[in-house]
Structure 1
Amino acid sequence: MHIPGRSILRQKPGTLAKGLAWFSIGLGVAELLMPRRFSRVLGMPGQKNLIRAYGLRELVTGIGILSTRNPRPWMLGRIKGDAVDLATLGWSAKHGSAPVKAALAAGLVAGVTALDLRSASGLKREERARRAPDYSDRSGFPKPPAQMRGLARDAAHLR
């Protein structure tokens, strides 16, 4: 059985981060080009400068993720931006002119936030794995096993 979106959850953290970066760039461009429409749909008429600022943030974090070898700090920036978006949408749901639309948008942002968190935590695990020393070629003996044979027996006679 195919579950929509399931393949997203199986992606490597770096691949997921790149996908989220492109999503961020697309959303940022849309917010920069259509701020009045976004503010009206979200029940925040007259807040086009705020929407533009959020669009610029999305654009910068998306470009940051794509342009670095370590996207994790930029992913953390996305997560912080998601928190700001959720707070703004929460305010709009309570005080704005389109509370249902703002609440639906908050649900969508929460879903993207879950993907951001998954990618950032996966990137952290990968980073730890790269830093960990590799002891797989070590036996724990000071000499190769062939040279160690019989040493314990010989040491018993030395007492």
Structure 2
Amino acid sequence: MHATTLPRTALRGRSRSAHDALAKGLGWFSIGLGTLELVAARSLADGLGLHGRDGLVRAYGVREVVTGIAILASHDPEPWIWARVMGDALDLATLAVGAGRAEGSERTNVAVALAAVAGVTALDILCAQGLDAEKGGPKTAVADYRDRSGFPKGVAAARGVARDFAVPRDMRVPDAMRGDVFARRRRPVPAGA
């Protein structure tokens, strides 16, 4: 069989599945969230009961930006979406610590943040599982190379092209040698020689 089954996500620039579109959206979301965490780390930390942990929030921002860029740059974003899931678990654990320290309005902020991160985590898991399901199954893209020849204009256009080229004068056998050289090659070799 000449056809090769490839994961839909492995066809750079050609995949149009809903999961690939979701992955791209999550990549952009990751970059936006990471940028916010980098720029407003102290405000976010204080608002979530994580006083003095702005360095941690900045580190999470770097993680988000790097993951987002990797998702957008990769032809197979699935491993990077799973990295987002792991990051979400870390975010949930950090928010749970903040919930224990939060007071007053900070508790509401932490509850809203926990709900938002839990929702995004569910979306990340759905996307990663969807991308994984597209690989190697009956719905994957099939690359069929039977109609390819390797010639830019096809085999028919390549036939006889070499005959159309005139051999340059300096590459021809000189006329003075032509008869003698070819005559020697055609003579039978005597037996015993």
Task: Give TM class, smaller chain.
Answer: 0.7 to 0.9
Q: Pairwise mapping of residues 3-152 of structure 1 onto structure 2 (< 5 A)?
A: 12-97=18-103, 98-129=106-137
Q: Structure 1 unaligned runs (5+)?
A: 1-10, 135-159
Counterpart secondary structure, 2:45:
helix
Greater RCO (Cα-Cα under 8 Å, separation 6 or more) = 2
Name the structure with the higher helix share. Answer: 1
> C-alpha displacement at 1:130, in angstroms?
7.0
Distance (Å, rounded) in 1 between the aligned partners of 2:137 and 2:56: 40
| Structure with greater Cα Rg | 2
Question: Contact (CA 8 Å) 1:24, 1:62: kept in 2 or not?
Answer: yes
Runs of 4+ in 1 over 3 A off after TM superposition: none
Q: TM-score, normalised by structure 2?
A: 0.60
Counterpart secondary structure, 2:83:
helix
Distance (Å, rounded) in 2 between the aligned partners of 1:35 and 1:95: 17
Question: Contact (CA 8 Å) 1:24, 1:61: kept in 2 or not?
Answer: yes
Q: Structure 2 unaligned runs (5+)?
A: 1-16, 143-193
> C-alpha displacement at 1:100, in angstroms?
2.4
Question: What is the aligned-residue identity percentage?
Answer: 47
Distance (Å, rounded) in 2 between the aligned partners of 1:84 and 1:56: 14
Counterpart secondary structure, 1:128:
coil
Distance (Å, rounded) in 2 between the aligned partners of 1:48 and 1:95: 15
Aligned residues: 124
The superposition leaves residues 76-101 of structure 1 with CA deviations (integer Å, 9 ceiling, x where unpaired) of 00000000000000111112342221
Instruction: Supply the AA of the counterpart residue of 2:36.
Output: A
